[in-house]
Amino acid sequence: MSSLRADVFVGKSVLVVGGTSGIGAAVANAFTQHGGEVRVTGVGAVAAELDEAIEVFESDVTRPGSLKSIVDEMDRLDVLVNCAGIIRRGEELEPEAFARVVDVNLTGTMRACAAARELLARSGGCIVNTASMLSYFGGALVPGYSASKGGVVQLTKSLAAGYAADRIRVNAVAPGWIRTPLTEELQSDPEVTARILGRTPLGRWGTPRDVARAVLFLASEEAEFITGTVLPVDGGYLAV
């Protein structure tokens, strides 16, 4: 459970882009459990564990205007969380796959921020983006993912400065090795798992709920003087 008050987001409107599975679904559920009115967007199947109170919208972050049409139907927005992301191990060494990953992970994040800016400015709201530990070092098989997540870090810092006049805070989380569908292949490989846990001081895979708790903190009043920050949620992986 989170240490935040159970009612901390009562009266707050939350939009989780890429919230139909994995980390995004956990984030959406966590906001709902703390009183938020939550909408999520995504492409394809919806996670079975997504709270039934959450409104789900089909939206592709690579299609200009797709998110804007959803935001335009909203009367209020207090929190935008960007969780949409893909990874194509090995394929990203080819320019076409590289460009696709960057379009979803980085440009898609910018599209969402731009679409939500006006509503967030009205409420003095905030944005939480999803970076990665791969924002800080390269990945031999995932140059597109690494480049896009490095870009998310710089985008977060830039928008924190650019949106400050609108009273919009912009931060990010940087998940480490988290048990999600994106890491299933690695989780099933005992040698890879041993290497990962051997370097992780806390000695375990992270869970989507671990990331969700960090997102809630950054979106809460407890973080009202924090902007432009990227918070690793990695069990200490980046510390060694």
Kindly report the CATH number assigned to the domain that includes residue 212: 3.40.50.720
pLDDT of residue 213: 97
Terminal CA-CA length for the chain: 28
For residue 47, give its domain range: 13-181+208-232
Is residue 193 assigned to a domain?
A: no
Q: pTM value?
A: 0.96
pLDDT of residue 68: 94
Is residue 140 assigned to a domain?
A: yes
Query: Does residue 163 register a pLDDT over 70?
Result: yes
Gyration radius of the chain's alpha carbons: 17
Contacts of 181 (CB under 8 A, 6+ apart): 21, 22
Q: In which order are the strands placed within the sheet that holds 79-82?
A: 55-58, 37-42, 13-17, 79-82, 126-130, 169-175, 230-233
Is residue 151 assigned to a domain?
A: yes
Is residue 114 assigned to a domain?
A: yes
Q: Are 215 and 174 in contact (CB under 8 A)?
A: no
Tens of pLDDT, residue by residue over 212-236, are 999 999 999 999 999 999 999 999 9
C-alpha neighbours within 13 Å on the C-beta side of residue 48:
0
Cα 161 to Cα 157: distance, rounded to the nearest angstrom: 7
Q: What percent of the chain has pLDDT over 70?
A: 99
Query: Does residue 46 register a pLDDT over 90?
Result: no
* Mean pLDDT of the region 141-166: 98
Is residue 61 assigned to a domain?
A: yes
- Taking the alpha carbons of 86, 128, 107, 237 in that order, is the dihedral positive or negative? negative
Contacts of 179 (CB under 8 A, 6+ apart): 187, 205, 206, 207, 208
pLDDT of residue 45: 74
Query: Does residue 71 register a pLDDT over 90?
Result: yes
Query: Does residue 44 register a pLDDT over 60?
Result: yes
Average pLDDT of the residues of the chain = 96
Cα 184 to Cα 87: distance, rounded to the nearest angstrom: 12
- Comparing CA positions, the residue from 74, 32, 69 lying closest to residue 53 is 32
Q: Are 88 and 24 in contact (CB under 8 A)?
A: no
Binning pLDDT at 50, 70 and 90, where does residue 120 land?
A: very high
Is residue 240 assigned to a domain?
A: no
**Residue 237: active-site member:** no
pLDDT of residue 48: 81
**Annotated catalytic residue within 136, 145, 163, 237:** 145
Is residue 56 assigned to a domain?
A: yes
Percent of the chain as helix, strand, coil, to the nearest 5: 45, 15, 40
pLDDT of residue 194: 96
Tens of pLDDT, residue by residue over 185-201, are 899 999 999 999 999 99
DSSP of 48-102, one letter per residue? TTS-TTSEEEE--TTSTTHHHHHHTT-S---EEEE------TTGGGSHHHHHHHH
pLDDT of residue 2: 64
Q: What percent of the chain has pLDDT over 90?
A: 92
Query: Does residue 88 register a pLDDT over 90?
Result: yes
Domain count, the chain: 1
* Mean pLDDT of the region 46-71: 93
Cα 216 to Cα 210: distance, rounded to the nearest angstrom: 10
- Number of CB atoms found within 10 A of residue 14's CB: 27
DSSP SS3 for 174: strand
Query: Does residue 1 register a pLDDT over 60?
Result: no
Query: Does residue 15 register a pLDDT over 70?
Result: yes
pLDDT of residue 181: 84
Is residue 198 assigned to a domain?
A: no
* Mean pLDDT of the region 115-143: 97
pLDDT of residue 133: 97
